[in-house]
């Protein structure tokens, strides 16, 4: 996904792709484990469908925040240096 959604005017290295992937994984796992620790008492009290829903919400937010971390790591050079834009005439 990172390679397919890249900006073709900015070169990406294997290191850039690996950094984005590892950052997304680390953030996702960190958020999931941290939120389970924070909400442990709440999750213990839930039963059945409420517990399933609470686990799903925690998983959703972990994945969403991992996507933001991935985006920030993959687009850091563009945010720092900008992007070259041209029109049909090349200006």
Predicted pLDDT of residue 1: 58
pTM for this prediction:
0.63
Residue 2 lies in a domain: no
Residue where the block lists tokens 């924070």: 38
Residue 4 lies in a domain: no
Residue 34 lies in a domain: yes
**75 vs 38: which has the higher pLDDT:** 38
> Which range is least confidently modeled, 34-43, 54-63, 79-88?
79-88
Domain count, the chain: 1
State phi, psi for 21 to the nearest 5 degrees.
-65, -50
- Distant-in-sequence, close-in-space partners of 83: CB < 8 Å, separation ≥ 6: 7, 9, 10
Residue 8 lies in a domain: no
Range of the domain at 25: 14-78
């Amino acid at each position: 996904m990172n390679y397919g959604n890249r900006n073709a005017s900015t070169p990406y290295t294997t290191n850039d792709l690996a950094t984005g992937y590892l950052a997304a994984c680390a953030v996702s796992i960190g958020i999931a484990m941290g939120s389970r620790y924070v909400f442990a008492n709440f999750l213990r009290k839930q039963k059945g469908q409420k517990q399933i829903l609470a686990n799903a919400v925690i998983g959703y937010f972990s994945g969403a925040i991992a996507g933001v971390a991935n985006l920030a790591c993959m687009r850091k050079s563009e945010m720092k240096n900008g992007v070259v834009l041209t029109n049909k005439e090349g200006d």
